Amino acid sequence: MTSTPDLHQPRPERFSALEPQLVAWRRHLHMHPEVSFQEHQTAAYIAGELRGMPNLEVSQLTPTSVLAVRKGTRPGKTVLLRADIDALPMTEENSFEFVSQNPGSMHACGHDGHTAILLGVAKLVSEAPDWDGELRMIFQHAEEQSPGGAEELVFETSLMDGVDVATGLHLNSQLPAGVVAVRPGAFMAAPDNIYITVLGRGGHAAHPEEATDPIAIGAQIVSNLQHVVSRGVSAMEALVVSVTYFQAGTTTNVIPDRAELKGTVRSFDPGLRERAPALIERVVKGICDAHGARYEYRYENGYRPLINEAGVAETLRQVALEVVGEARTREANATMGGEDFSAYLEKVPGAYFNVGSGNPELESGFPHHHPRFTIDEAALSTGVQMMYAAALRLGKAEL
């Protein structure tokens, strides 16, 4: 692979010199988490840091997102880099000095690290004497809560006007720090939700024959929904149906008149995703009809499946080979997790990749959304190097 000679790639020592600032940014953000659509102070902090950097146009397309743009004088493509900035509504159980100061809110998915990484890229880009084409860096709100901040930015603002290609990263505590993983094609699933209410007839628990028991009916629904996966679709298709909420009753001697069930449905294939609501309702209706109950059913689409464009994914793989070397470049595993970066890929080709942040010695291997989640901060520099090099390469790539 040839190098990109006149694009002012920073020297390795410049990345090293940036590391303390990356850590400081990440720890400030970790201490002050804000949940989806409430990231007002987070956005203000990011905007303030960006406005202290030269050669950037800084704006806010929504109340809690921030956009930084670097326009060069030389020809090139318009590249979009994205970082998500929101936290989760959960209580942190870590004990380090920069633990969350906002009770009930925590950066338990690495978004503080994503933000620090893109701030680092912005700083290096702002210091470059020139740039090829245009680089847009979007600090996106509300990835954790459907319909997601990407939906608003992509379809309700001018963010994507003229963009040629998009990329972003996610820190991954289940990969060793320093590893980069990318894959072409299906990477992350569509995370849809189901809501079911079984409407029975209440009565005394000593006389179940006089009632229509929604708990017994709901239990059959939970069990039989797995037949949608094992018998309703091809074994070659990937589908997950998980009931994660079952609420009914108030005491021991009363059969309630209703039971509420909630769950998630995960898929990659658009055709299967389209069939899934009817397959699930068929089971619910059949069981309720068989037992004389009524039901209410709602299927809620979440984010689209995230499908990496093969050419962009290959470019990112080549960048990873240069940044971290062959031994630390891997093909990412597809996951049933969801990610609203998929919205950007509705408009332009792009790809999403992982940077490892796990380190047993630092206890940074807890899974995402765990109350003790944290990262090996050495991953921040890897992320900056990957995103910066990707921006350079994608700005020149034939797409």
| 94 close to 8: Cβ distance less than 8 angstroms | no
Strands 180-182 and 165-176: unpaired
Catalytic member of 49, 84, 132, 143? 143
d(C-alpha 299, C-alpha 213), whole Å:
24
In the beta sheet, which residues pair with residue 38? Answer: none
Is 269 one of the catalytic residues? no
* Cα→Cα distances 239→233, 234, 261, 293, Å: 8, 9, 19, 28
AA letter at 291: H
d(C-alpha 385, C-alpha 12), whole Å:
9
| 80 close to 166: Cβ distance less than 8 angstroms | yes
Catalytic member of 39, 49, 84, 86? 86
Q: Which DSSP symbol is given to 340? A: G
Q: Which DSSP symbol is given to 208? A: G
* Cα→Cα distances 259→194, 253, 292, Å: 14, 16, 14
Beta strands in the chain (DSSP E): 57-59, 66-71, 74-84, 132-140, 165-176, 180-182, 185-188, 190-199, 203-204, 239-248, 254-255, 258-267, 294-300, 306-308, 329-331, 350-358
| DSSP string of 279-328, one letter each residue | HHHHHHHHHHHHTT-EEEEEEE--SPPEEE-HHHHHHHHHHHHHHT-GGG
d(C-alpha 349, C-alpha 192), whole Å:
23
AA letter at 382: T
d(C-alpha 355, C-alpha 337), whole Å:
16
Strands 180-182 and 185-188: unpaired
Is 209 one of the catalytic residues? no
Residue 352 has, within 13 A of its CA and on its CB side, a CA count of 26
Q: Which are the contacts of 62, defined by CB distance < 8 A and separation ≥ 6? A: 141, 149, 152, 153, 157
Active-site annotation, residues = 86, 143
